[in-house]
Amino acid sequence: MNEGNTDLTLVKQVQLGNKQAFNMLVMKYQYKVVSIAMKYVSNESDAQDIAQETFIKAYRAIGEFRGDSSFFTWIYRIAINTAVNFVTTAQRKSIHIDVDSEDINSYDGSQKLYEMDNPENLLEGDETKKVFLKALNSLPSELKQALILRELEEMSYEDMALTMNCPIGTVRSRIFRAREILESQMSKMYMKNQKA
């Protein structure tokens, strides 16, 4: 059991022309790729632009992916290159921008920095983490343990069965039930926040 097997299966489907398989890969790695982009740029919009361009490049080059490295390692390199190119291009543009001193306060960049420092945004980010932690703590102990071992310790089903002293089938069902409960709780909390 290896998470990389899932990626290889999806990549092969993409190479056969199945775009939905690539959609699944995007959904799986979108947060990781955006996190990489956020290390190079300061705002979410640019980070998403970098991430989007990364996935587009990856799709066009998917035929060259041979499986020598993991899919994420491969796309990680594309993301880094894309982010660096984006920053380099942005720096070149900023050199040619002739900003009048009187217009500094109305400069788009400063506005965005202001938005980033908005306490409300910071709370929203923290809220997301709180939601996950709260949902995880609310799980029954055996389900919580199963999900922690799988998602945080990245244990295989076989190792989990030995650790938890239960059959592999039980491990599978506990992880599945834990995810179902978490997903339900997160949906409720999201809807609650939306109404508020």
Partner 1 sequence: MGIRDEKNFILSRFLDGEEISESELNAIMEDPEALNQWESYSKIRAGLRGEIPNNVNLDGFADRVIAAIDAEPFDLSRTISRATEQDIKQSTKKETVINKSKDYENLQDNVADENKVIDIRAERAKLLNKTVNYITHIALVASVAAISVLGVNLYNGKTNPFVEESYIGGGSSLSISPVKMVNSDKVNDTQISFNNNSNINSNANNVNTNTANVANADVGVDKNYLRVVEERRAKELKTLDALLNDHLYVQRGWVVSNSQQ
| Residue the block writes with tokens 């543009």 | 93
Amino acid residing at 97: I
Query: Please, which of residues 20-39 interact with partner 1 by CB under 8 A?
Result: 20-24, 26-28, 30-32, 34-35, 38
Segment near partner 1 (CB under 8 A); pick from 47-55, 75-83, 85-93, 104-112:
47-55
What SS3 state is found at 92?
helix
Q: Which is nearer to partner 1, 100 or 117 (CB)?
A: 117
Helices 44-60 and 71-96, packing angle to 10 deg: 130
Q: Which of residues 56-115 bind partner 1 (CB under 8 A)?
A: 56, 59-64, 66
Could you please report the per-residue DSSP string of 33-91? HHHHHHTT-SSHHHHHHHHHHHHHHHHHTGGG--SSS-HHHHHHHHHHHHHHHHHHHHH
Measured from the CB atom, the residue of 104 and 123 that comes closer to partner 1 is: 123
CB of 175 to partner 1, least distance (A): 6
Q: Which of residues 124-183 bind partner 1 (CB under 8 A)?
A: 124-126, 128-129, 131-132, 136, 147-148, 150-152, 156-157, 172-173, 175-176, 179-180, 182-183
In the structure encoding, which two tokens stand for residue 122, read together? 């910071």
> Of 16, 95, 97, 196, which one interacts with partner 1 (CB under 8 A)?
16
Shortest separation between residue 84's beta carbon and partner 1, angstroms = 18
C-beta neighbour count of 11 within 10 angstroms = 21
